Amino acid sequence: MSRPKMPARDWQAEIYARHQYWIAGKPIHMAVGDGWADVVARLFDRIEKALAGEPVPTKIALIDVKEKYATVRIDLLLPVGPEAEAAIDHAILLAEMRSECTCDICGAPGTVRSTLGQSGWLAARCEDHSDGFPRRVVKGHPRRRIQDRRGTFDLVYDRRTDTIVETPVDGGDSR
């Protein structure tokens, strides 16, 4: 006789319960794999910290939390001041970059992989869950290139420290 299956942990409900005071409206379904539960939890914790500096209690509308091109995507309505908005934008960037190197099934370290063929699907997967996604698309740490008034920079995510390192690109002004 087999054991009855235990219900899966409802990590989305747990996150909403912990952060309900700053989320406007009804909870939306987050269309991401269970492996990204920690990615989303870290994001919500960082948003809460950013809102702590706001002069009045603020509610944020969650429009969408989903996976697209092997990365978590978050759409929000932010009625906040510039400091909180910058902190929340940074939290979203950290979540996006962490999701690129986190298996969307189990949460282990992974990489962006693709199915074969012209219309290949992308997924962030570890070695154990790479079946059907044989081709590594991204090698090394997740990175972005940005250009602002200070110059051109590479932003490189370090999973071990959960931080972004900013490095000037050759010819970039690093004032």
In order along its 175 residues, the chain shows pLDDT tens digits of: 444 443 457 999 999 999 998 999 888 999 999 999 999 999 999 999 999 988 878 889 999 999 999 999 999 998 999 999 999 999 999 999 999 999 999 999 999 999 876 667 899 999 999 988 888 888 888 999 999 888 999 999 999 999 999 999 976 444 4
Tell me the residue type at 97.
M
Rg (CA), the chain: 18
Q: CB of 128 within 8 A of CB of 106?
A: yes
